[in-house]
């Protein structure tokens, strides 16, 4: 039987061509899949004529035009006296696979052409790694603060995690120091001085172009959470409700827990390879948060809102460290908690 429609693992083609190879590459970079040769886009069976050497030639063409080389499995079926060829590939273990220097990934029923940054991310993910786990080529141990490391040790200990190591052994344990070299994550977490590579621009706007107050945060990523939160609290309304109890009730214009969660998401999932800054704009009736970096190709805005996605931290070491600090409760649950607050 022929499937009713194309999906993230099924593609229809009336003939074997370059587009079919691109789809096989997209399948290899995602979850694998099957191309049905001899079927139109609307699932109408057209059939295809194959010669004695056709399938062998197709296999060689796919192999010759892909890097790393992929060789699909073939299956020939007959439906309504018409021949349909099934070309199947599994997900390639070490990604990405390309054809003619172009990289594709399957998104829904379409092939998505990957950008350079997406190619890099896909490769790191296949190695179970991320950019923040790689050695920092610029900074050294002299550029980080031992006092900030010690403060993190105390904070993590409050979460019932036993730590007996000294600061350097501690960051080595978290893979923040490798072969006595700082990782990108270690520098972001514990950098000694304020620098532009973590800049967050903060503004209170009267209109879209009139700024009433502004601040620029350039600290380490842990300190930035409270810095940004304090700026937001300074510029949103707070209602004090008097009750018959010993303490009055404070009600903020926006749930502070939701604001804090958004800020943590900004810091942890920011693409620090990009030169642009994070931005927070506070207006009378809204707050806008901008962060460098795009959503993974497999996740849409609708997926985030419906909580129908698998968490893929851009910076795995930062996410892991923030979790032990008690700042992240569970991977992939932040957006849903923000909505529920």
Percentage of residues of the chain with pLDDT beyond 70:
96
Burial class (CB in 10 A: 0-12, 13-18, 19+), 318: buried
Confidence label for 109 from pLDDT (cuts 50, 70 and 90): very high
pLDDT at 244: 76
Burial class (CB in 10 A: 0-12, 13-18, 19+), 44: exposed
Q: What is the mean pLDDT of residues 271-295?
A: 93
Residues 279-289 pLDDT 10s = 999 999 999 99
pLDDT of residue 341: 66
Which is nearest to 174 in space by CA: 331, 325, 320?
A: 320
Average pLDDT score over residue span 222-230 = 97
pLDDT for 335 beyond 80: no
Tell me what the mean pLDDT of segment 38-49 comes to: 95
Mean pLDDT of 68-87: 94
What mean pLDDT is predicted for residues 97-109? 95
Whether the CB-CB separation of 225 and 263 falls below 8 Å is answered with yes
Where does the pLDDT of residue 301 fall: very low under 50, low under 70, confident under 90, or very high at 90 and above?
confident
Mean pLDDT of 185-197: 97
Model confidence over 136-165: pLDDT tens digits?
999 999 999 999 999 999 999 988 888 888
Q: What's the order of all strands across the beta sheet hosting 73-79?
A: 10-13, 33-37, 82-89, 73-79
pLDDT score, position 303: 81
Q: What is the mean pLDDT of the chain?
A: 91
pLDDT of residue 235: 96
For residues 281 and 203, is the Cβ–Cβ distance under 8 A? yes
Predicted local confidence at residue 333, as pLDDT: 56
pLDDT of amino acid 334: 59
**What per-residue confidence (pLDDT) applies to 296?**
74
Res. 117 pLDDT band, cuts 50 70 90: confident
Residue 331 has pLDDT above 60, yes or no: no
- The structural domains of the chain, ordered by start, are 10-128 (3.30.950.30), 129-341 (3.30.565.60)
Q: Which band of pLDDT confidence, cut at 50, 70 and 90, is reported for residue 330?
A: low
Give the model's confidence band at 178: pLDDT under 50 very low, under 70 low, under 90 confident, else very high. confident
* CA 209, 212, 216, 222 torsion-angle sign: negative
The more confidently predicted of residues 102 and 51 is 102
Please tell me the distance from the alpha carbon of residue 176 to that of residue 239, in angstroms, as a whole number.
Answer: 43
In the predicted model, is pLDDT for residue 259 greater than 80?
yes
H helix runs in the chain, sequence order = 18-28, 54-64, 116-126, 146-157, 167-173, 184-190, 221-234, 256-269, 301-306, 316-325, 334-340
User: Higher model confidence: residue 94 or residue 68?
Assistant: 68
- Residue 129, pLDDT score: 80
Band of residue 225 on the pLDDT scale cut at 50, 70, 90: very high
Residue 20 CA to chain centroid, in angstroms? 28
């Amino acid at each position: 039987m022929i499937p009713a429609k194309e999906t993230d693992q099924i593609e229809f083609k009336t003939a074997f061509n370059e587009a079919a190879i691109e789809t096989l590459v997209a399948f290899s970079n995602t979850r694998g899949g099957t191309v049905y040769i001899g079927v139109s886009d609307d699932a109408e069976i057209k059939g295809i004529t194959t010669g004695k050497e056709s399938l062998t030639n197709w296999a060689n063409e796919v192999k010759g035009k892909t890097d790393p080389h992929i060789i699909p499995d073939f299956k020939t079926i007959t439906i309504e006296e018409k021949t349909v060829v099934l070309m199947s590939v599994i997900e390639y273990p070490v990604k990405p696979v390309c054809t003619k220097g172009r990289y594709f990934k399957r998104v829904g029923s379409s092939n998505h052409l990957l950008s350079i940054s997406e190619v890099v991310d896909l490769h790191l993910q296949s190695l179970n790694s991320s950019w923040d786990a790689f050695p920092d080529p610029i900074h050294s141990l002299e550029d980080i603060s031992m006092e900030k490391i010690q403060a993190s040790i105390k904070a993590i200990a409050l979460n019932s995690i036993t730590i007996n190591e000294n600061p350097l052994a501690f960051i080595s344990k978290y893979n923040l120091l490798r072969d006595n070299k700082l990782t990108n994550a270690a520098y972001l977490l514990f950098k000694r001085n304020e620098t532009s590579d973590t800049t967050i621009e903060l503004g209170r706007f009267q209109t879209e172009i009139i700024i009433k107050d502004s601040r620029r945060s350039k600290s380490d990523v842990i300190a930035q959470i409270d810095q940004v939160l304090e700026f937001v609290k300074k510029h949103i309304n707070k209602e004090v409700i008097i009750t018959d109890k010993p303490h009055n009730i404070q009600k903020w214009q926006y749930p502070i827990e939701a604001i804090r969660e958004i800020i943590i998401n900004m810091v942890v999932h920011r693409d620090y390879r990009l030169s642009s800054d994070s931005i927070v704009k506070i207006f009378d009736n809204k707050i806008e948060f901008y962060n460098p970096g795009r959503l993974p190709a497999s996740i849409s805005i609708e997926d985030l809102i419906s909580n129908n996605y698998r968490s893929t931290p851009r910076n795995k070491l930062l996410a892991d460290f923030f979790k032990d600090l008690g700042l992240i409760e569970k991977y992939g649950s932040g957006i849903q908690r923000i909505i529920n607050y």
